[in-house]
Amino acid sequence: MIPDNNGNNGKNVFVQTTLGQDFIQNNDHNDLIDDFEKWLRKQNNKTLYKRFRMRTPLKPSNQKQIVKKVKTAIQRDMNISPEEISYNDIKSWEDYCYETYCNNGNSTRFIAINKFLKFIDKEDWKLPCPPGEIRVYPTLTEEERILYLQTLDKYYPPLGDRIIDEMLPMQLKRLMDRCIVLMQTMLCCRPTEICIIETRDVDFLRHKITLRDSKTHEIIIRSGMEDALLMTKEVEAALREWLEIRKKVSAKEPENEKYLFIYPAGNNTGTRIHYWKVWRVCKKVGRLAGIKDIKTTPYLLKRTEITRDCDRGLNIRIPQIRARHTSPMTTMRYNHKSIFDAINWIQSDNYHTLNYIQ
């Protein structure tokens, strides 16, 4: 059971651990969780099956997230072993989630625990997923975005007339970081997608980067769209400079040689970049720019770019294509305009009423 406020079986007391270690005190086995992991490998992606009748296994990353959420729910929040779970535990945990987290996060938690309940033949205990919430997340203002890019130019300058062979290791890394930040700021992409770009898929002639995999790759392709990042002039210029350096960098592991971003220097020389590299460098530029009220995470930069597209008065189809959304309704969720923006617009000199009473 989830502990109560008195510390007995309560929801405010948790066993703080690291995933991969034992969650339950005096319980050194996770046989049921191990069996659940094996079972997940045989499960299909329900979304793809419903929409396209495709029997496609869950991606390894999805399987990992599901197992992580199940372990957190059972072994940390409920503080019991998987074999001891009961209907009352599930209902108590449901109440706890509604009290503690937002609905959007609870959807993924409930989906994960429902898969586990299906695995143990307790489908009648399944939790209904809560309705999604449309939340207004912050974005950078135009002034903050300009400051962010000016700071990038100051601390991570372009190659210019410098000679690559005469540059210091830190300078080489900063050219890679510059390229990463520009892509995250201008291409409406996820940080994980930057990490898996292959060098051969950068097409300067067609101004795009083809993605061989992404979170929604199969849905995008089956919907008749291209899973590709459309490059701006700034990104193309940064990529051309980085590719001159990339030619001189060899991957430690042969299977990583195909990737665009390999550390050119330092302790990680020759290894492929990962998710947290993108996250760290995007936030670092924000700190250097003195942007304190908001964290410049990759997802904030993505939201900002889609919102700017909508601000330009473009046909909604353009930001939809850039963001690779199969539905314009998904794109509009990233258009984080508020009632104050609407008031400022109708009070501005640019607003004109076409049909008015004289």
Structural domain includes residue 350: no
pLDDT score recorded for residue 351: 67
Residue 185 and residue 73 in one domain: no
Structure tokens at 8: 């007995």
Blockwise average pLDDT, block size 10, the chain, 358 residues: 48 39 45 91 80 80 91 92 92 94 90 94 93 81 95 96 92 96 96 96 96 88 90 96 95 95 93 96 97 94 90 81 89 77 78 50
Q: Of 125, 153, 187, which one is at a domain's C-terminal end? A: 125
R_g (Cα) of the chain, nearest Å: 24
Structural domain includes residue 342: no
Residue 64 and residue 207 in one domain: no
Structural domain includes residue 6: no
Query: Tell me: the pLDDT tens digits for 123-164?
Result: 999 999 988 777 778 899 999 999 999 999 999 999 999 999
pLDDT score recorded for residue 14: 40
Question: How far, in Å, CA of 277 to CA of 280, rounded?
Answer: 5
Structural domain includes residue 319: yes
Residue 193 and residue 289 in one domain: yes
Which 3 state secondary structure label does DSSP give 339?
Answer: helix
Structural domain includes residue 356: no
Residue 154 and residue 290 in one domain: yes
Provide the residue type at 134 as one letter: I
Residue 91 and residue 59 in one domain: yes
Residue 229 and residue 306 in one domain: yes
Structure tokens at 299: 């997802």
- Residue 301: Cβ-neighbour burial (10 angstroms; 0-12, 13-18, 19+): buried
Residue 97 and residue 197 in one domain: no
Q: What single string gives the DSSP state of each residue in 190-245?
A: -HHHHHT-BGGGEETTTTEEE-S--TTHHHHHHTT---EEEPPHHHHHHHHHHHHH
pLDDT score recorded for residue 137: 81
Please tell me the number of Cα atoms within 13 Å of 99 on its side-chain side: 9
Predicted TM-score (pTM) of the model is: 0.78
Residue 83 and residue 171 in one domain: no
Q: Which residues on neighbouring strands pair with residue 228, listed in sequence order?
A: 210
- Residue 334: Cβ-neighbour burial (10 angstroms; 0-12, 13-18, 19+): buried
The count of structural domains within the chain is 2
**What is the domain extent for residue 70?**
31-125
Structural domain includes residue 283: yes
pLDDT score recorded for residue 135: 75
Which 3 state secondary structure label does DSSP give 94?
Answer: helix
Structural domain includes residue 117: yes
- With CA atoms as reference, report the closest residue to 164 among 181, 149, 176, 179: 176
For residue 298, the domain's CATH number is 1.10.443.10
Q: What single string gives the DSSP state of each residue in 274-332?
A: -HHHHHHHHHHHHHHTT--SS---HHHHHHHHHHHHHHTT--THHHHHHHT-SSHHHHH
Structural domain includes residue 294: yes
